[in-house]
Structure 1
Amino acid sequence: MIIFITHGDGPRGAERAVRNLLTDAPSDNWLSVVSMGKAFDVTGERLNERCVQSKAEAISAALVEIARGQAAGQSVTLCYVNGHMAVPFAAFALARLRALFGRPRTRLILWEHCVPHTHYERRSGLSRQLIRALYAGMLRMADAVVAPSSVIGSDLERHFGDICTTIDQIANPIVLAPATTLSLPVDWPAGTALRTVFVGALSPEKQPHLALDWVTANRGLGAHLLLCGEGPMRGELQARIDEQNLPATIAGHVGNLRAYYQQADLLISTSSYETFSNVMTEAALCGCQVLSTNWPGVSSVYGANQRVRIHREEAAPVFDLPLREPRPAPGDRLTNFDAAAHLQQLEGRT
């Protein structure tokens, strides 16, 4: 049995990975979700979800689910995905305390949910020290950290090098449902020879201004960029597009991303850091070429992917006109994982 502690369903990469895993999970797996947020709305014969409002309720729900699994004779894995750090810390500690009284031992893992040090670096004073202590305590209790790329392991080594931590690298599960239509709410201009797309938040860590630099440097090829996303940089990006007459359009939030992946020639990913980049995997599954910045850990996930080119220089890259490879049919359901094998890896059974 696996118990996921989460912030609830949402756009974050780890929660999307959980939703995809729950969607494809075999019916004989015992799974439970403790959500401090929106329900995942996934049904399963042995899936139990508890939506709670407070940290105390979340801790209590996690312990109840541990007891339920143990009473059923299941080995239990408590998996922290996201949410207030006090919840998994207390749940981990109480699970370990129970084990001292002869209860079956619960396997404890931290699912990658963001670069670890970002939890406390934006804080100061006592708050910073407390959050770092909580994180260190969870690392000492956890059997393993599950991360989709080497960036998490490298971060832990830099900031918590005195704590011996096992890092299990497992790719985020991706599910792309069939495209109901390939019509686009915002399309590339007629005559665009190189259809480029950026998908993600228009925020500093995603560096969408680099996407503008790159496509502008290649406007001679007939490149035009669609920026699919919203965020705090939208205003300044639009002002730059207008003032410099750049070959780019801000599409904003779009619901049918698969249609863009299917029709784009090139996805541009310009993040300063990621831990997996679901977007890059989604585009590659749809047969779209990908150009990525050299964020820490990118090679550990995409170094061998023939559709992904990692830009390792400072200057804007020169685009190659991609060959239009055969694309999957829009009606095909696309995935990058086997759910049963993935769950076995989480439980440490492989």
Structure 2
Amino acid sequence: MSPTSPSPHGQSPLRTVQVLGGGNAGSSAHVRSLAAGLVARGVRVTVCAPAEADRAYDFTGAGADHVHVPRRSDPASVAALRAACTGADLVHAHGLHASFRAVLALSGRTTPLIVTWHNHAHAEGARAQFLRLLERRVARTAAVVLGTSSGLVDRARRTGARDARLAAVPLPGRRIPADEHPGRPKLRAELGALGRPLLLAVGSLDHHRGYDLLLDAARVWRRLDPLPLLVIAGEGPLRAQLQARIEDEELPVRLAGRREDVADLLAAADLALLPGSWEARPVLAQEALHARVPLVATDTDGVRELVGDAAELVPRGDADALAAAVVRLLDGPERCEELRDRGTRQAATWPTEDETVAQVLSVYDELTQPQPLI
């Protein structure tokens, strides 16, 4: 069905605006998948996001219109978003900052607003108080808040949401198991991990990612033979600080910078490591289970809900427990194989892209279809 053909929503196609900040890979991939699914069902979709997000995720290639809206809340950006939302049947914003911009842009209008919270907002000090104010404003304004974990749904309810629901976000695309990946030996050679275990962590080099904890754990691995290599794929403000520690302490760690081949890196790895605790539904955890790569992760409500018993979960902030879990898996091929099998079964329980689109579309129907008289 083309985006301009009649739809089951009435005489003219439903028109939605998806608002995206553009700073999170998981939410950006979700919006691309959602846009493609909605367009295929006859919905007109406009994606408001920074131009670089459209270049990276090709929303227009999914059949959506794209409007460049910077990741800012200044009057010009809000005005651009307000203009793009004119005539929309509903607006769906993804992430706290995008949601707040949508609240500002829709001020004085009756257009229904749906927001999806993909992760816990992370900040300290005065900024943390500011984010709590944003959360409260968004939660109380939105018609529906969709949380990607039970913890986010509970948080939305505590913050004053009128209607908060669980809405898991799947990882788009088909995944190839690591042991079937054709480029695995070559990539391990390029990384310097021939004849030694390869450990992988992925994400921007920020404080909330837990990389200091990871380097603390890496000190323990220096005693192992063969010596594991930890590769961290990502870029950010902590690069110089982390690199200095790596050199001063002679840690077996390589900062690989921003990479476009994370799926290939994961396929080459023996273990995936997730030391941070801020993500509700981490992309790396999903990728690892799909790829049958054993995962060691910080034990949070969102991660436990996502992976079940298919990963080694360690207490938050416990470098010794993290190091011990890695050593245990490197010394325990049977446990690794058990986690691979459990991961395959766990990933099979996650919703598909089609199921996710259908769920979101049912919410749209509730907000846009006339309610029967009783």
Q: TM-score, normalised by structure 1?
A: 0.76
Residue-by-residue CA offset, 1:153-183 (whole Å, 9 max, x unaligned): 343355x2x5544222313433367779544
Secondary structure in 2 matching 1:268: strand
Change over 3 Å in CA distance of 1:147–1:163 after alignment to 2: closer
| Corresponding residue of 2:17 | 3
Secondary structure in 2 matching 1:78: strand
| Corresponding residue of 2:113 | 108
Secondary structure in 2 matching 1:251: strand
Change over 3 Å in CA distance of 1:108–1:279 after alignment to 2: same
CA shift at 1:84, angstroms?
A: 5.1
Secondary structure in 2 matching 1:273: coil
CA shift at 1:239, angstroms?
A: 1.9
Count of residue pairs brought into register by the alignment: 315
Gap runs ≥5 in structure 1: 67-76, 97-105, 328-333
Change over 3 Å in CA distance of 1:301–1:123 after alignment to 2: closer
| Corresponding residue of 1:146 | 146
Identity, % of aligned pairs? 22
Cα contact 1:33–1:48 (8 A) shared by 2: yes
Pick from 84, 89, 92 the counterpart of residue 61 of structure 1: 84
Cα contact 1:116–1:155 (8 A) shared by 2: no
Residue-by-residue CA offset, 1:120-146 (whole Å, 9 max, x unaligned): 95177xxx4xx7666434323323211
Amino acid at match of 2:33: N
Q: TM-score, normalised by structure 2?
A: 0.71
Pick from 355, 364, 369 the counterpart of residue 341 of structure 1: 355
| Corresponding residue of 1:210 | 213
Cα contact 1:31–1:47 (8 A) shared by 2: yes
Q: Distance between the aligned counterparts of 2:123 and 2:109, measured in 1? A: 27
What's the C-alpha RMSD, in Å, of the aligned pairs?
3.5
Secondary structure in 2 matching 1:5: strand
Amino acid at match of 1:61: A
CA shift at 1:264, angstroms?
A: 0.7
Change over 3 Å in CA distance of 1:63–1:94 after alignment to 2: farther
| Corresponding residue of 2:59 | 42
Q: Distance between the aligned counterparts of 2:24 and 2:284, measured in 1? A: 11
CA shift at 1:108, angstroms?
A: 2.9
Q: Distance between the aligned counterparts of 2:264 and 2:164, measured in 1? A: 39
Cα contact 2:120–2:278 (8 A) shared by 1: no
CA shift at 1:252, angstroms?
A: 1.6
| Corresponding residue of 1:80 | 93
Change over 3 Å in CA distance of 1:117–1:259 after alignment to 2: closer
Within-5 A mapping of 1:295-310: 295-304=300-309, 306=310, 308-310=311-313
The structure carrying a bigger helix percent of its residues is 2
Change over 3 Å in CA distance of 1:42–1:143 after alignment to 2: same
Change over 3 Å in CA distance of 1:62–1:113 after alignment to 2: farther
Residue-by-residue CA offset, 1:82-107 (whole Å, 9 max, x unaligned): 455553114555442xxxxxxxxx65
Cα contact 2:17–2:47 (8 A) shared by 1: yes
Q: Distance between the aligned counterparts of 1:78 and 1:267, measured in 2? A: 36
Change over 3 Å in CA distance of 1:340–1:84 after alignment to 2: closer
Q: Distance between the aligned counterparts of 1:297 and 1:45, measured in 2? A: 29
Change over 3 Å in CA distance of 1:58–1:132 after alignment to 2: same
Pick from 30, 36, 40 the counterpart of residue 43 of structure 2: 30
